[in-house]
Structure 1
Amino acid sequence: MNHASSRSTPTTPQRKNASMCQHQPACPSAHSADREAAHPVANHPEQGWSLLCNGVLLFEDTGELLPDGRIIAPHRPLAAQAA
């Protein structure tokens, strides 16, 4: 018996909408260019990260981890880097 094919759900569930947003109007999705505008649902500045209601992990260095596992490199403005 092949156990992998008998599973009813994949080991990493893929939801059509991974958003936790309950706001009206809804916050930007994790794939929108303005995804960082979503409301935080967990904020841990002592650890350097926040979880947004669209499922994005936003890091203190401006890097991001999207719900689908993609990584967005830190993108601080050039003026802030020069200071």
Structure 2
Amino acid sequence: MCTHTPTCPTADSPDHEAARVVAAHPEQGWALLCNAVLVFEDTGELLPDGQIIAPHRPLVATA
């Protein structure tokens, strides 16, 4: 349960990445959000139900 005001988005909402970080381990490349989503430095995610979201880095335009 989120105790922030306003409350953080739930893990199943489209903007779940906007939840606050409650534990960060940059040396290991991950952070735990308030909604129990694990986000990784490669932009991959692990949702609380075990669903994996593949890395989704923005494409870089080349000239």
Map of 1:34 onto structure 2: 15
TM-score between the two structures when normalised by the length of structure 1: 0.70
Unaligned runs of 5+ in 2: none
Which of structure 1's runs of 4+ aligned residues deviate more than 4 A? none
Displacement of 1:24 in angstroms is 1.1
1:1-83 alignment, distance < 5 Å: 20-79=1-60
Unaligned runs of 5+ in 1: 1-19
Greater percentage in helix? 1
Aligned residues: 62
Aligned Cα RMSD in Å?
Answer: 1.4
TM-score between the two structures when normalised by the length of structure 2: 0.91
Greater percentage in strand? 2
Identity of aligned residues (%): 74
User: Greater RCO between the two (CA within 8 Å, min separation 6)?
Assistant: 2
